Every structure is written in structure tokens, then in C-alpha cells.
Amino acid sequence: MSHSSNSPTAPASRGQCQSIDLTGKIAQIDGHWQPRVVAEMNDYQFKVVKVEGDFQWHRHADTDETFVVLEGELQIDFRGAPSGDGTIVLRAGQMAVVPKGVEHKPRANVEVKMLLIEPRGVVNTGDGPTDERTVQNDQWI
């Protein structure tokens, strides 16, 4: 694990009543597939992350998950979605909601910077194998 100035715990403000520079926050993250919380709204968290390469197939049994792409081009493969199997492409300024229970696999040919919106406590690898991609929750930046 790398040691950085990231605060592992939530600030008292929980990111509220302040301007949050998403790009600046992402620039502080070491490595890909390492989501960090920047703010909370009720029980929901806003997480920034940069990704590159393929993530693993997984699903979240209890919650939907929202992807908002800030930079780059993200592909999300689906299996068993109401709309059928397939892939969507999200470019900067585009977003998508992955329904709970639907298997998905995000991937990026080149680095993508994005914002995730999901309830507090969601494990990033869902029901997939716990491995080096599985990130400890509630790491703030």
C-alpha cells in the first residue's frame, strides 16, 4: 500500500457547504480503481476514481450504481440487463445508472476519470472475488 496524504476518515463537514474540485481530487489519488469519497448526501456517497484497463464482472445485489464520466471514454459491459446483454460507451459529460443485480464490467482503453454515486458501504467489487481491486470503504480524499 502506498502512503499518501489521503485522509482515511470522513471530515466533519462531509464535503458539504464547500466547493469540491473533482479533477483536483482525482489528481491526488495514487493508482487506478481506487475510489475515494469526496462528499455525502443523506446516505449516498460521491466518489472520484480514475480507471484504466478491465475491471472484473460483478453485481451489487442491494443497490443501483451511477457512473458519471468526467474525462476519457468508459465502456460498461452488461450481462442479464433488462435491455439484454451488451456494452454502453460513456464519454465526458455522460452518465449511466447500473441497476441493482445486473452484472457489469467497466473497462477503459485509456485512462478515464469519473464520479461514482452510490449508497455508503457499497463494496466496489460487489459479489465478485475479493482481491487487490477490492478497496476499503469510506476512504476520503
Where along the sequence are the contacts to Ni ion (CB under 5 A)?
65
Least CB distance to Ni ion at residue 26 (A): 18
DSSP letter at 56 equals -
Per DSSP bridges, beta strands 103-119 and 95-98 are: unpaired
Least CB distance to Ni ion at residue 113 (A): 17
* CB nearer to Ni ion: pick between 40 and 65: 65
Q: Residue 85 contacts by C-beta under 8 Å, 6 or more apart in sequence?
A: 77, 78, 79
User: Which residue's CB atom is positioned nearest to Ni ion?
Assistant: 65
* CB nearer to Ni ion: pick between 72 and 106: 106
User: What H or E segment, with its residue span, contains residue 111?
Assistant: strand 103-119
Least CB distance to Ni ion at residue 127 (A): 10
